[in-house]
Chains A and B, each alone.
Chain A
Amino acid sequence: MFPFSFEWVWDMDHIVFHGGLWYALNIMGLGMTYCIIKAAWDTYKGKGGHNH
């Protein structure tokens, strides 16, 4: 899974496969982080709640 694990080989197969994987994981991770931080910021700014 990581370049330091035994099974890792620096070849096209691994780069393409794990490239795709890490791309997806990063989008999800960054997206969620963005949402959470922005939500926290919005909350701090007093948005949300009943009044919307």
Chain B
Amino acid sequence: MSTLDDQAKEVSEDVADRVVETPTQKEGNQVDGSGGFIILFFFIGLIASLILGWIIYPKLLYSQKKQPIDFNHAIHMDLVDDGCESCHFFREDGSYSGVPKLAQCIDCHEEVQGETENEAVFVQEYVQKQKEVPWLVYSRQPDCVFFSHVVHVKTAQIDCTQCHGHIGESTNLKIYEENRITGYSRDIWGKNMSGYKKNSWDRMKMDDCAECHAKEKGMESSVQTKKDACFVCHK
């Protein structure tokens, strides 16, 4: 951060210099100055801005947040019978429970299990105080989105990894990178700033939903887009 600030200052000082200089230069300067020199400056500008845009900007844009508890999915997966749905279950009305509530955790974690420090903190800070864990949800979508897990998981039989990747096999939770402007996780735009994605779970923007809907569902119910209607994924 500090480096950028400094740079910015330098640049602005440069500008100031130039501005003061300009009126004094007058016509005399017009003829000199070699073409190569100019091109060099072009490249300096080009590279500086590329660095700014590709490297510094992402650093500035995302804040790094640690999860309150470093949850180990892998361990839990070994212990449960029903895969992801053991904890991330469906309610009877077809709604999806999402991130488990403390009440579910307490079923097993009434007492400290194992010896990790994480576990101790969890039981002390949350279980005993009956406080919900403020999990940071990597896949949290904007409020305007209606995502039906039941349709995707039960009806279309889509594997959880298709969107969520292999988080179920992870032993710890990665740093949550929050977009300072939008407040959403970096996982929505994708780790790659250019928006390039290798895996189906690398990005969770509307176009990714639309792409799959066009391919798999082949609906043409929208009069405007000849694709799936807006009021399918939006509320």
- Asked whether any CB of A lies within 8 Å of a CB of B in the complex, the reply is yes
Give residues in A with beta carbon < 8 Å to B: 4-7, 9, 11, 44, 49
By a CB distance below 8 angstroms, the chain A residues around B210 are 6
**B23-65 interface with A by 8 A CB criterion:** 30, 35
By a CB distance below 8 angstroms, the chain B residues around A9 are 225-227
**B160-219 interface with A by 8 A CB criterion:** 206-207, 210
B224 within 8 A of A: yes
Cβ–Cβ contact B225 & A11, under 8 A: no
Give residues in B with beta carbon < 8 Å to A: 30, 35, 206-207, 210, 224-227
By a CB distance below 8 angstroms, the chain A residues around B226 are 9, 11
Cβ–Cβ contact A6 & B206, under 8 A: yes
Residue of B nearest to A50 (CB): B27
Residue of B nearest to A10 (CB): B226
Kindly state the separation between the CA atoms of A49 and B207 in the bound complex, as whole angstroms.
52
Kindly state the separation between the CA atoms of A6 and B226 in the bound complex, as whole angstroms.
10
Kindly state the separation between the CA atoms of A13 and B226 in the bound complex, as whole angstroms.
13
Cβ–Cβ contact B35 & A44, under 8 A: yes
Residue of A nearest to B210 (CB): A6
Contact with B225, one of A4, A7, A44 (Cβ below 8 angstroms): A7
Residue of B nearest to A43 (CB): B35
Cβ–Cβ contact A7 & B30, under 8 A: no
Residue of A nearest to B230 (CB): A6
CB distance from B97 to the nearest CB of A (A): 30
Kindly state the separation between the CA atoms of A10 and B190 in the bound complex, as whole angstroms.
28
CB distance from B62 to the nearest CB of A (A): 25
By a CB distance below 8 angstroms, the chain A residues around B206 are 6
By a CB distance below 8 angstroms, the chain A residues around B35 are 44
Kindly state the separation between the CA atoms of A11 and B224 in the bound complex, as whole angstroms.
11
5 nearest A-B pairs in the assembled complex, by CB-CB distance = A9-B226, A6-B210, A7-B225, A6-B207, A9-B225
